Amino acid sequence: MIKITNLEKFYRTEEVETIALNKLTMEVNTGEFVAIMGPSGCGKSTLLNILGMLDDPDEGSYVFNGIEVAHFNERKRADLRKHNIGFVFQSFNLIDELTVFENVELPLIYTGVTASERVKRVEEVLDKMQIMHRRNHYPQQLSGGQQQRVAIARAVVNKPKLILADEPTGNLDSSNGNDVMELLTDLNEQGTTIIMVTHSEHDARYSHRIIRLLDGQTVMENIMV
């Protein structure tokens, strides 16, 4: 599904140039659950952002589903993104002015799904995330675990092929964190490819494969059994 080759990303300020990704090469197959680990500043988030087409690489190739996307413009990337990729963030990033239902509905609106179909699909996914009873609440009225479940519901409502999770349990206690990891595992078992950045060895154990980064390069790959 994903094939990156010699990917490079630099951050420049006036005086300093930092290499975030240094000729990184990796591959992720459809249906995999991959965890990316490494110390702060090793390039995990940069990688995730490039994979999610939120950012573009300076050098190298990125092939997504057989299409070279490394030098796509913003509009093309956005188009590919909204149909194929769902995001889950550490800080949930729900929109405060919208209710649970409306937050989850939003991606469907932007992909032009009809209103009746939207209601059906949002209800379906809220049900699956066991958050249906909170559908008319606003994010601030929910616990962290509930908010993250809404965020996951929002990420999957468009039935993306790939979910990118950036420390999805980072703001949660262990019990809620485990729930979230179970949810992601379920999604993966149903066929969704998942790439997750994490600091937690515990969370990483849910994945099939761990890629460890240091200074923008792969230093080790563990295959989980």
Q: Candidates 60-68, 101-109, 125-133, 142-150 — which segment interacts with another protein by CB under 8 A?
A: 101-109
- Which residue is listed with tokens 């019990």? 175
Tokens of 127: 């049900």
Q: Binding another protein by CB under 8 A: which of 67, 95, 219, 220?
A: 95
107 lies in the binding site for another protein (CB under 8 A): yes
195 lies in the binding site for another protein (CB under 8 A): no
96 lies in the binding site for another protein (CB under 8 A): yes
Give the distance from CA 9 to its chain's centroid. Answer: 19
Three-class DSSP category at 202: helix
Q: Binding another protein by CB under 8 A: which of 75, 114, 223, 225?
A: 75
106 lies in the binding site for another protein (CB under 8 A): yes
Q: Candidates 86-94, 174-182, 199-207, 214-222 — which segment interacts with another protein by CB under 8 A?
A: 86-94
DSSP 224: -
Count Cα neighbours of 22 within 13 Å in the Cβ-side half-sphere: 12
- Which residue is listed with tokens 């969704």? 192
70 lies in the binding site for another protein (CB under 8 A): no
**Nearest alpha-carbon partner for 165 in 146, 150, 181:** 181
Nearer to another protein, 53 or 204 (CB): 53
How far from 155 is each of 42, 86, 139, 208, CA to CA, in Å? Answer: 26, 4, 16, 21
> Kind and range of the H or E element at 189?
helix 174-189
Rounded to the nearest whole angstrom, what is the least distance from the CB of residue 153 to another protein in the complex? 12
Binding to another protein by CB under 8 A, coded x per residue (else -) over 24-63, reads: -------------------------x--x-xx--------
Q: Binding another protein by CB under 8 A: which of 87, 134, 145, 209?
A: 87
Decide: 40 and 205 in contact? Cβ < 8 Å. no
**Nearest alpha-carbon partner for 121 in 92, 99, 154, 96:** 154
Which residues of this chain interact with another protein, rule CB under 8 A?
49, 52, 54-55, 74-75, 78, 81-83, 87, 89, 93-98, 102, 105-107, 109-111, 154, 158
